[in-house]
Chains A and B, each alone.
Chain A
Amino acid sequence: MIDTKLNGPLPAKPSRWPFYLFLLGLFAIVLISAIYIGANPITFIQNSDNMVDLFVRMFPPAWSYIATTTPAMLETIRMALLGTTIGMIFSIPIMFLCARNIFRLRWLVELSRIGLNILRTIPDLLLAAIFAAILGFSPLAGIVALSIFSIGIIAKLSFEAIENIDNGPLESMTAVGANKLQWIAFGVVPQILPHFVSYVLYTFEINIRAAAILGLVGAGGIGVFYDRALGFFAYDQVLALILYTLVVVIIIDLISLKIREKLL
């Protein structure tokens, strides 16, 4: 007979020490990091009058600067649009290569995925800095950088969508003897098209934000003016630029959101 002790002593509470030690370790890492980069709250407090000064000089925003920078803002939108489009075109073959349920060649799929993951680690601004060096300080550098950056996002989101599709249509197409191209065109594409368009729009939203700062490394768009205004300590112009970018970003987000809601 098994001896069950209902009224026996309570089991000992698990020790909380490992947890406390873990917290302490985390805190130590944060502290070491802060010391390593010379993050000193006192510097911040000492310089707080700088910050107050910066805020005071931001107001009132230089509204006239908006008219001056509108061509650059339109260029920013063009860059984002073209960058997203080129990225979209290139991500189509890549996303099929990365999806496990499309190609049976395991090594090819895994290799494409590793390639895509490496591509996704490079930040947009770094790409822009490199392409500005190759192609010169022009919007073209920004477009190329944004295209490559977009491939990473669109292909990643889309191949995950492809892997989640319903297998039924694919099986019936195989059953009636469709070839690979027909199989993709009529079995896969109709299922993922709304998702794909939605991801492209989402990437466009990200690219508008990215394009607005690419000018800082010489890759065209409105970012050039940030550099200029800050160089002249014209903080009222900086605030006007920030607000202008904010409004454009919000409007484009709203339009994109409306279209995406309709799609899905």
Chain B
Amino acid sequence: MSQRDQLKKARARKRGKIAIILIGLIAIYVWAISGIEFRGIQETAGPVTKNILKGFISPDWSYVYSPDGEDLIRGLLETLAIAIAGIFLSIILAVPVGLWAAKNLSKSFITSQSGKGVLSFFRTLPDIILALLFIKVVGPGAFAGMLALGIGAMGMLGKLYAEEVEAMDPGPVESIAAVGGNKLQQLAFGVIPQVLPGFISATLYRFEINMRSAATLGLIGAGGVGTALIFAIQGRSWDRVGIILIGIVVVVLIVDLLSSALRKKIT
């Protein structure tokens, strides 16, 4: 067979492959679209959309602060408090599990793998489902939300911590061991100074996610500004929905900016 024929054959094979991929994609989309129950758009969709947009343009500024009772500032502060207390809980939980899951700290493969298994199990549990379960344990409110975030963030933080530890330089630990440092001293003076910037950066990153998560917890009754939002939606007071969304966007943006500035400084 000449080289030309071979090239032709290779091209035909490639085209065949692309065709198979395309047919597969089309089949998937046909399956997806045909399965969606389309019940038609509500008649109210138009007016409601108009009202929401109107709510954004002229939001209910009076809701921002009221001396007595529920207002936006208190809701946002509660959300912030849930995110802060939640991240603190997850740091406490994630440091030991992260060290447990780090390959280079444990002697046997099974130890680190079991730690990784625990972490990936917790990573797949959505914060909202955890919050629903904690509501059943401690009752509705911000405490349930904080516990959910604490446990939910542990999986991700632990994984990031473990990766940070695995990427560190073994030199300092070995030299501390060589001069007779015990395990605790190796950890305190060999491991922690090296991984601390990475740990802080990972924690800040997760804190940004916590803020968004904390804003949604209220939708299911676990405290924070989401509670006010779901009441406003149910009560069709769109100007209030507008101001709450604006408040969430502003606070999340500020937290993002501060956190990314800090992270840039650290690493």
Chains A and B come from one and the same complex: yes
Asked whether any CB of chain A lies closer than 8 Å to the CB of B147, the reply is yes
Q: Which residues of A contact B105 (CB under 8 A)?
A: none
Q: Which residues of B contact A216 (CB under 8 A)?
A: 128, 132, 219-220
Q: Which residues of B contact A136 (CB under 8 A)?
A: 39, 41-42, 45
Asked whether any CB of chain A lies closer than 8 Å to the CB of B136, the reply is yes
Q: Point out the residue from B37, B52, B132, B147 that lies within 8 Å of A139, measured CB to CB.
A: B37
Q: Which residues of B contact A38 (CB under 8 A)?
A: 141-143
Q: Which residues of B contact A9 (CB under 8 A)?
A: none
Asked whether any CB of chain B lies closer than 8 Å to the CB of A88, the reply is no
> Distance in Å from the Cβ of B245 to the closest Cβ of chain A?
7
Interface of chain A, helix or strand or loop or mixed?
Answer: helix
Task: Indicate if the CB atoms of A249 and B124 lie closer than 8 Å.
Answer: yes
Q: Which residues of A contact B88 (CB under 8 A)?
A: 30, 33-34
Interface of chain B, helix or strand or loop or mixed?
Answer: helix
Asked whether any CB of chain A lies closer than 8 Å to the CB of B49, the reply is yes
The proximity string for A residues 237-263 relative to B, scoring 1 for CB distances below 8 Å and 0 otherwise, is: 010001001100110000000000000
Indicate whether A54 sits within 8 Å of B84 (C-beta atoms), given known contacts A81-B28, A138-B37: no
A124 vs B84: C-alpha distance in the bound complex, in angstroms? 21
Q: Which residues of A contact B137 (CB under 8 A)?
A: 44, 47-48, 50-51, 54
Asked whether any CB of chain B lies closer than 8 Å to the CB of A70, the reply is no
Asked whether any CB of chain A lies closer than 8 Å to the CB of B249, the reply is yes
Task: Indicate if the CB atoms of A250 and B229 lie closer than 8 Å.
Answer: no
Task: Indicate if the CB atoms of A134 and B48 lie closer than 8 Å.
Answer: yes
Indicate whether A250 sits within 8 Å of B213 (C-beta atoms), given known contacts A118-B249, A134-B45: no
Q: Which residues of A contact B245 (CB under 8 A)?
A: 122, 126, 130
A121 vs B230: C-alpha distance in the bound complex, in angstroms? 18
Asked whether any CB of chain B lies closer than 8 Å to the CB of A117, the reply is yes
Within 8 A of A (CB), among B1-53: 28-29, 31-33, 35-39, 41-42, 45, 48-49, 52
Task: Indicate if the CB atoms of B126 and A212 lie closer than 8 Å.
Answer: yes
Asked whether any CB of chain B lies closer than 8 Å to the CB of A98, the reply is no
Task: Indicate if the CB atoms of B36 and A78 lie closer than 8 Å.
Answer: yes
> Distance in Å from the Cβ of A4 to the closest Cβ of chain B?
30
Query: Interface residue count for B (Cβ, 8 Å)?
Result: 60
Indicate whether A130 sits within 8 Å of B233 (C-beta atoms), given known contacts A118-B253, A123-B216: yes
Task: Indicate if the CB atoms of A122 and B248 lie closer than 8 Å.
Answer: yes
Asked whether any CB of chain A lies closer than 8 Å to the CB of B165, the reply is no
Q: Which residues of B contact A81 (CB under 8 A)?
A: 28-29, 32
Q: Which residues of B contact A249 (CB under 8 A)?
A: 124
A138 vs B146: C-alpha distance in the bound complex, in angstroms? 30
Asked whether any CB of chain A lies closer than 8 Å to the CB of B256, the reply is yes
Asked whether any CB of chain B lies closer than 8 Å to the CB of A140, the reply is yes
Indicate whether A33 sits within 8 Å of B84 (C-beta atoms), given known contacts A125-B219, A129-B229: yes
A123 vs B211: C-alpha distance in the bound complex, in angstroms? 9
Indicate whether A129 sits within 8 Å of B52 (C-beta atoms), given known contacts A78-B32, A250-B124: no
Asked whether any CB of chain B lies closer than 8 Å to the CB of A224, the reply is no
Nearest opposing residue in chain A for B233, CB measure: A133
A249 vs B81: C-alpha distance in the bound complex, in angstroms? 31
Q: Point out the residue from A30, A77, A213 that lies within 8 Å of B129, measured CB to CB.
A: A213
Nearest opposing residue in chain B for A49, CB measure: B137
Q: Which residues of B contact A54 (CB under 8 A)?
A: 133, 136-137
Task: Indicate if the CB atoms of B124 and A30 lie closer than 8 Å.
Answer: no
A126 vs B245: C-alpha distance in the bound complex, in angstroms? 9
Task: Indicate if the CB atoms of A138 and B39 lie closer than 8 Å.
Answer: yes
Indicate whether A123 sits within 8 Å of B42 (C-beta atoms), given known contacts A47-B138, A129-B230, A130-B241: no
Nearest opposing residue in chain B for A34, CB measure: B85
A29 vs B207: C-alpha distance in the bound complex, in angstroms? 14
Q: Which residues of B contact A146 (CB under 8 A)?
A: none
Nearest opposing residue in chain A for B38, CB measure: A140
> Distance in Å from the Cβ of B12 to the closest Cβ of chain A?
21
Nearest opposing residue in chain A for B216, CB measure: A125
Q: Which residues of A contact B146 (CB under 8 A)?
A: 34, 37, 39
A149 vs B233: C-alpha distance in the bound complex, in angstroms? 19
Asked whether any CB of chain A lies closer than 8 Å to the CB of B212, the reply is yes
Task: Indicate if the CB atoms of B52 and A130 lie closer than 8 Å.
Answer: yes
Task: Indicate if the CB atoms of A126 and B215 lie closer than 8 Å.
Answer: yes
The proximity string for B residues 139-164 relative to A, scoring 1 for CB distances below 8 Å and 0 otherwise, is: 10111011100000000000000000
Which 3 A/B pairs are nearest by Cβ-Cβ distance?
A37-B142, A33-B81, A121-B252
> Can you list 17 A-B contacts with CB-CB less than 8 angstroms, sorted by A residue number?
A32-B81, A34-B85, A40-B143, A47-B138, A50-B136, A75-B37, A78-B31, A81-B29, A85-B29, A121-B253, A126-B216, A135-B45, A136-B39, A140-B38, A143-B36, A216-B220, A246-B124
